[in-house]
Structures are given as C-alpha cells and as structure tokens.
Amino acid sequence: MSGILSTHHKLHVSEADQGTRLDKYLSEKIDNLSRAKGLKLIQNSSVLINDKTVNPSHRVSLGEVVHILIPDVAPSHLAPWQLKLEVIYEDNWILVINKPAGIAVHPAPGHRDKTIANALINHDSDISRVGENSRPGIIHRLDLETSGLLITAKNEIAHKKISEQFADRKVKKSYYALVIGIPENDIAIIDAPIGRSPFNRQQMDIVSTGKPSVTQYEIVDTYTAHSLLKVSPKTGRTHQIRVHLKSIGHPVVGDSTYGKLEPDLDRQFLHASSLSFNHPESGKLLNFNSDLPIELSRYIERLKSSSNMKDTA
C-alpha cells in the first residue's frame, strides 16, 4: 500500500534562537517552509519538542530538541479550468493577475471548481505542487465579487517569501471602493476589531473580542449621494474593508452581505487597484496598478452625469 512520503528534520535550539515563537523558528530554520505551513504542522501534531506536542504559541528554549515531520507535497487534486487569465506580470517565480469579479480564488462551499486555483493549474501545471493542495499557488485572496490584482506563486520559495511579507505587513495594497453617502472626513483611519458576527456566523462584524483591524481611506471624488474612496487595509481580516466601511455608515455599493444590492450593478464596487511587494528572488520592489474594469467605470460615468444634471438644474 502506498502513502505520502515525509521528510524528517531535527533541530537543537541555540541561545540565539531562544524566545522565538515556534512557527517563526521553523520558517527560519527550514528552507521553503512558511510560517503558515509551520503553524499547520504544529496544529497537526507533526512537530514535537522533547518528544511532546506543544501549543502553536510556544516559544523555544535553549537546549530543546525539535522534531518536524513534513509530508512531501503531492500534486493538487484540482481539475484544470481553461479560463484565460489576464496576466499583468509573469516570470519564473511569480504570476500577478487581474482577477475578475464573480470568480472565487480557491474552492470553498458553493464554489468547488471553476476557481482561480483551477485556472492557475491550467496556465502552468507545475503550480499544482506549490502551496496547499486545495489552493495551489495561492498566497492571498480577494472576495468573490471583488476584482483586481492578485499575486500567485510559481514555486515554493516564492510562496514562502511572499507569504512572509504578508505576515509582516510589508505588502502594500489599495482598493477603489464606491460607497453610499459622503464620509465626514476626507481622510481617516478606521481602527476597530473584527470577528465573527454573534448574530450570523456567515458574516464578520465589529466585536470586542475580534482581531485588531486597521483600514485607512481617503475620498477620491464625490457625487450626489455616493463617494469614491481609495482604501488601504493595514491588516488582512476577512471582509475587512466591507465591514469597516459599513461600521461608519457608508457600505460598499452593491454589497449584498453588508449593504444592499444595486439594481444597475451586478457586483459590489470594490477593486484591488494597486500592489507593491519585494520580488522573492531579487528583492526588487515591484509596483502594479489596475484600472477600474469597464462595468465599474461606466457606473461612475452615470453617477457623474446624474450629478452634473442636478448641479445645472
């Protein structure tokens, strides 16, 4: 009977490393292992310290012996999907694409196939061995109805290094969001913890026990009853931008979960417009920008036209 092969590592904690959180220690000592993967190994009892399982928050101590069993990566079981990706940039390390609205980044309940992950395997079959089996190549995600820039990895080193940049909040992102109403301040920071809603477990909300969450926004333009914002999340919580904007009374236009549907727009008005991060091989700072897709730019033009008509009435 065949099984998945595993690689064993044995580490001895030195004085220089003591006090380091275990998942960080593993990522620093083992090539191509990200903190996220290290955390999963700990949670799956694949990491032993002095022959005992430990909590993920454990900090290593001088003299401890760490055993790590890492299953070899099997190709993803996902089926390729022949979606033509809009490639913004590609080399042997990374692939930056423009994700359309209405397509999930990876399989999830209700979206088992025809995701960006399936399309990545079709684009380059080697990506099937990068990252998690159920989400090959995926480093971060965009919501189903959000469009825009998405970074994907083409090898394990790239996956690890860019994942670490996200964990260390070194990746800079901004979005265009059209909201209902006009915020009181032209520029502001929303600092409010986000967690699962106590009333609807399928939604997120501002809750005192939530994770620290920070979003900055500035007004780009205003119309009669709407505002176009440039939004920069400083943390990466689920639905962060949508929850934070709702919390100040200005939900994203077309957001059926945290606002309401918009009859003239078949998606939410949220677009990942800029990304900057360091290349995993060269370390060079890369900057990418994405214009509003045509359905969003046309919606803005209609708002401008309506506002101008009211101004001249």
Catalytic residue positions, numbered: 143
DSSP assignment of 67-127, as one string?
Answer: EEEEEPPPPP-PPP------EEEE-SSEEEEEEPTT--SS-BTTB-SSSHHHHHHHH-GGG
Q: 33 is written with which tokens?
A: 């292992």
Q: How much is the CA Rg of the chain, to the nearest whole Å?
A: 22
Question: Other C-beta atoms within 10 Å of 51: how many?
Answer: 7
DSSP assignment of 2-13, as one string?
Answer: ----EEEEEEE-
Q: How far apart are CA 163 and CA 38, in angstroms?
A: 12
Place of tokens 């820039």: 149
Q: Which of 87, 81, 74 is nearest to 106 (CA)?
A: 81
